[in-house]
Chains A and B, each alone.
Chain A
């Protein structure tokens, strides 16, 4: 850093900072805690810069001016107030950049009084019982009220709700009685997701968070990603609670209740039980699920591998159609379709590109479809009595599970999609201390643990799994010949938009499983496979704009899109709080799990190969797999 450092004194402690550093950041450097509410680490300028940072060769970092207002902190809660020597009044430390040497006090009678008044003011329009709130224990307002000894004496508390509880798309539940108007949801939705589903409406005592143009909640243009929930400091935003329905099914003796668990929740659920972020509890969770009463516990990694086979085959087939047969209906680049938030996003905002989406269902839906067909047949279970539950890091999975077309088997693929938070609550209700449990393997016939499935939980993971498989299928060589330990590092990391290339220097014979799709791979010899990645839908917008302008991403063959920042591990259904460090820790857990598994490539998953031998006998992208494992999309307004 070539700019000169400035010395600030905070509570008597000297700290040197780069000009422009906020007092809040400087205090943290000095190890001094200043309480905050409208500030979120993901929404400070440094995080926002990182969020849209690209690979160096793209190097672009500019926000439209329209976003500039949202970029700066609203400094609206006024909790982080400090005293600055020589300046009258109190100042919000989150919005006070340091440009000259200054002396700051972060605690004094005036500051404590102001903070307590502000908290009491918030409580004066806060309606709801803390103990019955989904955020009890993780609520930032609750914690501060406890810290500052807030009572309801001075400004009173409402005795009845001031607002009706409203819902967005039936998935995201808003309770304005708990809203403190900090705008973290509004800024998250705009700055990370580019959706602008939420906005601030009205003035003075009529001010509130509303949907854009005041549409009814169910009609709002919302992708159900749940990122707003993860940033809400209180219980004003939560997901639809399906736990009662699942308990009910478990306790119904007539039902067989099975659950599939996605990779991302395993790396995070421990956080709800006091574990450090990045503590994987995969097999302890299996024990807990059995104890709670699930009849079978399956690994979504199986259907993740199945997805790779279907989606990878689709890619090869599209490339063949486009490059060899010159069939212009084969839209390239092919887009991944695992992230239901991304799906609804493209349906709303870029419907022109729906043909680019892989028609493969997501792993959740594939597993659901297989459970009520292949698994039911194999085990002599009546599919009408199977209740298919999924554990997902995701709120949008609830929407995906409920999409009307997801019932090709004659039954709903997935009956209930639970978030990590919901399952954590179920465990707590059952008195389970998760970290203390023994380990239990997944149930067969989908029990093979595979690294390729696990990494679906991180941004870049689907692409890495697909590349491992496509490379080996096409070249007949081990991917290790190009990438050490089969770790395809160029697609890993947290940069918002990434690109990578892989040259296919030699080709092998077409494996039997794909022989119905292409006659040979000669046409791929010497070709360079170009892939792209984006996470957080604001980055998806950047990719789509680049494609529309004919930029480098338009030259890609395959692009992975994840609606949530960090991919599924940063999903809207994951434990709260979240920030970059927490997401990085979860990613580390996911990649280290991948590294320990014997099977790390989807096409080597014996369970997957078996289902093609026994059930989808015509292979990937065949008639039967299309019926059960593929879907279609629709334009939304």
Chain B
């Protein structure tokens, strides 16, 4: 299958198209590893998987670990509902991602990388393998990269098996090691003991794609794109009830209203920012901005037009979490099931005082008590819908 055949609409010019990956690798090859870490740290780049952890800091931790070998893992298990930017990046800019991995390897002292590709992107495998081979021929991967005697790095591609939870980095590591994708305990962290118990950096596709761009254009170029608190730009996947769905690059600090105007969704009734794990924003809050402290996002923006039943939306998201919980911890596995039932009852019979108190308490427990991010975030969409759209429930005056 030709990857370009399912290419999404790209709404504006992407920074990725302006950079030659080879240039980024060359700069890293000529630099001391700690300087590479410093550049990425200075740029303010944060993880694009959703949690937003500073990339430079993660690399610095990994660099300081004594274990060996170390691994760089590219999390290409893009599974958050409404995200498709990693697919575009892997289709159009695979060498940028591979360069990002190699530079990460240079920075932390790893010589081996794995790209964990979601099962549903199996058709990209051939395309990516071909790109890897081109990199090896061009010596941007392999031994003594671009002539640097102390810089060797190679990448293999491993396939996921279709579980949403494997986008969670510790579940991804379990899956990579051949077991069921259950989230691990967070101490030790993957940078301390990750893949095969060794220090491991897990970065998202987009995060890694930004890395060679920052190397080439400099950290201040990157930082200048966003706000002082949130430097840089981000790729957004816009879908749902809008005229021009597709992928858009925006600097941090862009307002939701601006984005809705660009995509032709001025009449939106609600916008789900951050996928199923995100929050649902009502029109009164459309001036909020795309910034970590405000509307955090994994890159997914789903627009709901005037005709949508918001509690059907909530039920749909909740159903997703019932299926996609790894099934390990009680607050997530059973909390999501009971929450789904409660939403169903709510849609049928309306909201009672007791019922509302119970679901809020349950949501609280799921948030504070679940083992991993999946369970901790899975009540967010519903709560934001309950907070802003309870008027849509039957019996409400």
A interface residues, Cβ below 8 angstroms from B: 65, 68-69, 72-78, 81, 89-90, 92, 95-97, 99, 110, 113-114, 117-118, 121-122, 124-125, 154-155, 180-181, 200, 202-207
Q: Is B362 on the interface with A (CB-CB < 8 A)? A: yes
5 residue pairs of the A-B complex, CB under 8 angstroms, read A74-B328, A75-B329, A89-B368, A99-B187, A207-B325
Q: Whole-angstrom distance between the alpha carbons of A155 and B323 in the complex? A: 19
Q: Whole-angstrom distance between the alpha carbons of A203 and B368 in the complex? A: 21
B interface residues, Cβ below 8 angstroms from A: 163, 165, 174, 177, 179-180, 182, 184-185, 187, 196-197, 321-331, 333-338, 358, 361-362, 364-365, 367-371, 376
Contact A203 B329 (CB under 8 A): no
Contact B323 A204 (CB under 8 A): yes
Chain A residue at minimum C-beta to C-beta distance from B163: A203
Q: Least Cβ distance of A166 to chain B in Å?
A: 19
**B-side interface mostly:** helix
Q: Whole-angstrom distance between the alpha carbons of A154 and B357 in the complex? A: 10
Q: Which residues on A sit within 8 Å (CB–CB) of B376?
A: 89
Q: Whole-angstrom distance between the alpha carbons of A99 and B187 in the complex? A: 10
Contact B323 A69 (CB under 8 A): no
Q: Whole-angstrom distance between the alpha carbons of A206 and B364 in the complex? A: 24
Chain B residue at minimum C-beta to C-beta distance from A116: B365
Q: Whole-angstrom distance between the alpha carbons of A633 and B365 in the complex? A: 54
Q: Whole-angstrom distance between the alpha carbons of A74 and B328 in the complex? A: 8
Which residue of A114, A121, A122, A181 contacts B368 across the interface (Cβ within 8 Å)?
A114
Contact A72 B174 (CB under 8 A): no
Q: Whole-angstrom distance between the alpha carbons of A95 and B183 in the complex? A: 13
Q: Which residues on B sit within 8 Å (CB–CB) of A72?
A: 184-185
Contact A204 B333 (CB under 8 A): yes
Q: Whole-angstrom distance between the alpha carbons of A203 and B165 in the complex? A: 10
Q: Least Cβ distance of B90 to chain A in Å?
A: 25
| Best-buried of B177, B334, B338 by chain A (most CB within 10 Å) | B334
Contact A207 B197 (CB under 8 A): no
Which residue of A73, A95, A181 contacts B327 across the interface (Cβ within 8 Å)?
A181
Which residue of B174, B330, B361, B364 contacts A69 across the interface (Cβ within 8 Å)?
B174
Which residue of A68, A75, A81, A207 contacts B333 across the interface (Cβ within 8 Å)?
A207
Q: Which residues on A sit within 8 Å (CB–CB) of B325?
A: 203-205, 207
Contacts A92-B371, A118-B330, A203-B324 known; 7 new A-B pairs at CB < 8 A: A78-B371, A89-B376, A95-B187, A114-B368, A118-B369, A125-B337, A181-B333
Q: Which residues on B sit within 8 Å (CB–CB) of A124?
A: 334, 337-338
Q: Which residues on A sit within 8 Å (CB–CB) of B329?
A: 75-78
Contact A89 B326 (CB under 8 A): no
Contact B328 A113 (CB under 8 A): no
Contact A121 B331 (CB under 8 A): yes
Chain B residue at minimum C-beta to C-beta distance from A206: B327
Contact A202 B367 (CB under 8 A): no
Q: Which residues on A sit within 8 Å (CB–CB) of B371?
A: 75-76, 78, 92
Which residue of B187, B327, B328, B361 contacts A117 across the interface (Cβ within 8 Å)?
B361
Q: Least Cβ distance of A65 to chain B in Å?
A: 6
The 5 closest A-B pairs by CB, nearest first: A207-B327, A121-B334, A117-B365, A95-B185, A204-B325
Q: Whole-angstrom distance between the alpha carbons of A207 and B358 in the complex? A: 25
Contact A117 B333 (CB under 8 A): no
Contacts A89-B367, A117-B361, A155-B338 given; does A203 touch B327 at CB 8 Å: yes
Contact A81 B330 (CB under 8 A): no
Q: Whole-angstrom distance between the alpha carbons of A204 and B179 in the complex? A: 16
Q: Least Cβ distance of B155 to chain A in Å?
A: 22
Q: Least Cβ distance of B302 to chain A in Å?
A: 22
Q: Which residues on B sit within 8 Å (CB–CB) of A114?
A: 331, 364-365, 368-369
Q: Whole-angstrom distance between the alpha carbons of A436 and B368 in the complex? A: 50
Contacts A74-B182, A75-B185, A180-B330 given; does A205 touch B323 at CB 8 Å: yes
Q: Whole-angstrom distance between the alpha carbons of A180 and B196 in the complex? A: 29
Contact B368 A76 (CB under 8 A): no
Q: Whole-angstrom distance between the alpha carbons of A293 and B334 in the complex? A: 48
Q: Which residues on B sit within 8 Å (CB–CB) of A97?
A: 187
Q: Whole-angstrom distance between the alpha carbons of A489 and B335 in the complex? A: 53
Contacts A89-B368, A89-B376 given; does A69 touch B177 at CB 8 Å: yes
Q: Which residues on A sit within 8 Å (CB–CB) of B358?
A: 154
Q: Least Cβ distance of A21 to chain B in Å?
A: 12
Chain A residue at minimum C-beta to C-beta distance from B323: A204
Q: Whole-angstrom distance between the alpha carbons of A96 and B322 in the complex? A: 27
Q: Which residues on A sit within 8 Å (CB–CB) of B370?
A: 78
Contact B338 A121 (CB under 8 A): yes
Q: Least Cβ distance of B229 to chain A in Å?
A: 20
Q: Whole-angstrom distance between the alpha carbons of A202 and B327 in the complex? A: 8
Q: Which residues on B sit within 8 Å (CB–CB) of A65?
A: 177, 196-197
Which residue of B184, B330, B361 contacts A78 across the interface (Cβ within 8 Å)?
B330
Chain B residue at minimum C-beta to C-beta distance from A154: B358
Chain B residue at minimum C-beta to C-beta distance from A182: B330
Contact B323 A81 (CB under 8 A): no
Contact B327 A200 (CB under 8 A): yes
Q: Least Cβ distance of B167 to chain A in Å?
A: 13
Q: Which residues on A sit within 8 Å (CB–CB) of B327?
A: 181, 200, 202-207
